[in-house]
Structure 1
Amino acid sequence: MNAIALGLDRTVLELKMYAREKESVFFSFLFPVLMLALFSVIFTDTMTAGGSPLSAAEYFLPGMVSAGILLTSFQTMAMSVTAERDDGTLKRLRSTPMPPVSYFLGKVGLVVVTALAQQVLLLAVARFAFGVDLPDTAAGWFTFIWVFVLGAFAGTVLGIAYSSLASARSVSAVVIGPMLLLQFISGVYFAFTDIPSWLQQVASVFPLKWIAQGMRSVFYPDVMASLEMAGAWEHGRTALVLAAWAIGGLVLCVLTFRWVKRGTT
C-alpha cells in the first residue's frame, strides 16, 4: 500500500514535470489534436471511401486517435526515461527508500492521465467543432476501450525499453523520426490501401497499424472493412498482435532497463 501511495504521489509529480516540458506537450499531446483540426479545415470537400461519404474530420479521426495513443505512451516514455537516466535522476531515485515499483507506477499514471485527456479532447473537437458522429453502440465503445488499453500499455512498455537505445542528445531524432515514419505508412495520414503493398507489410509488423485499423472499425461504417488488407476489421488478430507487443515490450523492459547510463556505475 505504501508503494501504491508513493506511486500516486509520483504520478502527480510526473504530471507537473510533463506540463513544464513544452516540446513534449506539443509533440505528444497537442499534435494529433492540431493535425485533426488542420486537416478538417484544409480538406473541406466530402471524401468517398468504399462508397461511403465522409467529411475530412470523420476520415482522419481514427488515425489521429491512433497516433495520439502511441505519442502519449511510447514517445513520452522513451524521451522522459532517457532524459532522467542521462541526467542522473534515475540513479538518485534508485538510492532513495522509494520502491522501484512506485517510479514505474508514476510513469503509468502519467500515460493514463495524458492519454485519456488527449482522447477526450480529440473526440470533443471532432464532435463539437466538426460535427463527427461518435459511436452509438456499446460494442463500438467496447472496441475503442480495448484497442486503447492494449495500445497504450504496449506503447508504454515499449517506450521504456526503447529508452535504452538512446541518449539525451539523440533521443529526439531516435524517437520522433521513426514515429513519423510509422504514422505515414500505417494509415494515419493516408488511406492504407493507397500505400504500396510492401510498405503495408512493413507497417503490419508494428502496433500502430493495428491500433489504426481497430480505431477505423470504431468510427468508419462497416462497409469500409472491405478496404482493409484482409477485407475485414480482424478484431481477433488486432487483439493478438497488440497483446504480443505488450508482452514482448514488458519482457524487454525487464531485460534491458538500466538505472544509470552506459559507462557509469
Structure 2
Amino acid sequence: MNPAAGAVRAGWSRGLIELRQSFTDAGDLLGRLFWPVVLLVALFFLRDSAFASSGLALGTLALPSVLGMNVALAMVSMSQLLTADREDGTLLRAKATPNGMVGYLVGKIVVVSGGLVADLAIVVVPALFFVPGLSLGGPGGWVTIGWVLVLGLVAALPLGAVLGSVFTSPRSQGLITLPLLGLIAVSGIFYPIAALPGWVQWLGQAFPFYWLGLGMRSALLPGGAVAVEVGESWRHWETVGVLGVWAVAGLVVAPVVLRRMARRESGSSVASRRERALRRAG
C-alpha cells in the first residue's frame, strides 16, 4: 500500500475512534448537548416573534443562519484541537512517525466534521416540530444543505489549522473567539443583514459566516423568505464564489504554515510549554 494512502486510512480509523469516544464519554456528551439545547430553547421562545412585515418568525430566520454559523465555527474546533495537541506532545509524536502528520490531520478532520454533522442533527430534528415555516420537503433542499456543508467545511477547516498553528496554547483561543463573535454579530446570523447599515452589510459579506447562513436559509426557508435578503435573491453563485475563495486561500496557506509549525516542534519546546502550564496551575 502507498505510504500516504496508509496514513490516510490510519487517520480515518483514528478519527472514527475519537468520534465514537466523544459520544460515549459523559462529559463530552453533556458539552455537546448543552449549546444545542440552549439554542432550541431560544428558538422556542422566538417562534411567535415576527420580523417586520415579512410574516416570518425570527426563530424561523435564525435557525438556518445558526446552522451556517456552526459550520464556520468548525475552524475554532480545529484550532482548539491543534493547540491542545501541541501542548501535550501529541503533535510531536505524529511528526516523528512517517506520514504521521497526514494521518493526524485526516483524523482531526473526521472528528470535527463528524461532530459538526451530529450537532446539526441535534438541532434540526427537534426544530422541525416546533419552528414554523421551515421548508425541507424536496430533494433540492437536501442537495443545497449538502454542498453548502461540504464547501463550508473546506473553507473553514484549513483556516482552523492555520489558527491552531499560529497560537501555541489553548488559553490563547480567546484571541480567536472574540473577533469571530464580532463578525457573527454583523453577518446576519441573528437578524437579517439587509436591515443593517450599508457598510456593515459589506463587512459581513466579506466573510464566510454570512454566506453559510444564506446558503442554509435558501435550503430551509420557503421561497417567499428571499424578500428579506440582500437583492431579494439567494445568490447561490455568489455563495459558491466567496466560499470557494476562502477555501482556496486556506488550502494554499495551511500546508505552508503547518510545515513551518511542524519543523519548530521539538521535545524541548513541548517540555517548556508543559512546564509553563504546570506553573500556572500551581
Instruction: Verify: 1:157 aligned to 2:158, yes or no.
Output: yes
Cα distance, 1:120–1:226 mapped onto 2, change above 3 Å: same
The total of aligned residue pairs comes to 261
| Superposition deviation, residue 35 in structure 1 | 4.2
Cα separation, 1, equivalents of 2:26 and 2:83: 14
Cα separation, 1, equivalents of 2:195 and 2:132: 26
Instruction: Verify: 1:11 aligned to 2:15, yes or no.
Output: yes
**Rg bigger for which structure?**
2
1:7 partner letter: G
Cα separation, 2, equivalents of 1:160 and 1:217: 29
1:62 maps to 64
Cα separation, 1, equivalents of 2:78 and 2:98: 23
Of stretches 221-230 and 16-25 in structure 1, the one that deviates more from structure 2 is 16-25
2:279 maps to none
Cα separation, 2, equivalents of 1:32 and 1:148: 20
User: Aligned Cα RMSD in Å?
Assistant: 2.7
Q: Please tell me whether the aligned partners of residues 57 and 132 of structure 1 are also in contact (alpha carbons under 8 angstroms).
A: no
Q: Please tell me whether the aligned partners of residues 135 and 221 of structure 2 are also in contact (alpha carbons under 8 angstroms).
A: no
| Superposition deviation, residue 42 in structure 1 | 2.8
2:273 maps to none
Instruction: Give secondary structure in 2 for the equivalent of 1:167.
Output: coil
Cα separation, 2, equivalents of 1:42 and 1:95: 52
Q: How much identity, in percent, do the aligned residues show?
A: 28
- Structure 2 gaps of 5+ residues are 271-282
Instruction: Give secondary structure in 1 for the equivalent of 2:191.
Output: coil
- Structure 1 gaps of 5+ residues are none
1:84 maps to 85
Cα distance, 1:235–1:181 mapped onto 2, change above 3 Å: same
Report the TM-score when normalising by structure 2: 0.81
2:220 maps to 219
Cα distance, 1:16–1:155 mapped onto 2, change above 3 Å: same
Cα distance, 1:132–1:24 mapped onto 2, change above 3 Å: same
Cα separation, 2, equivalents of 1:190 and 1:24: 30
2:276 maps to none
Q: 1:42 aligns with which of 42, 45, 64?
A: 45
Aligned counterparts, 1:146-225, within 5 A: 146-225=147-226
Cα distance, 1:193–1:133 mapped onto 2, change above 3 Å: closer
2:233 maps to 232
Instruction: Give secondary structure in 2 for the equivalent of 1:190.
Output: coil
- Deviation digits for residues 56-95 of structure 1 (CA, Å, limit 9, x no counterpart): 4322211121112122x21100111122123322112211
| Superposition deviation, residue 105 in structure 1 | 1.0
Q: Please tell me whether the aligned partners of residues 134 and 221 of structure 2 are also in contact (alpha carbons under 8 angstroms).
A: no
| Superposition deviation, residue 228 in structure 1 | 2.2
| Superposition deviation, residue 8 in structure 1 | 2.2
Instruction: Give secondary structure in 2 for the equivalent of 1:54.
Output: coil
Instruction: Verify: 1:126 aligned to 2:130, yes or no.
Output: no
- Deviation digits for residues 108-128 of structure 1 (CA, Å, limit 9, x no counterpart): 111221111112111112113
Q: Please tell me whether the aligned partners of residues 49 and 224 of structure 1 are also in contact (alpha carbons under 8 angstroms).
A: no
| Superposition deviation, residue 132 in structure 1 | 5.7
Instruction: Give secondary structure in 1 for the equivalent of 2:230.
Output: coil
| Superposition deviation, residue 169 in structure 1 | 5.0
Cα separation, 1, equivalents of 2:211 and 2:33: 22
Instruction: Give secondary structure in 2 for the equivalent of 1:230.
Output: helix
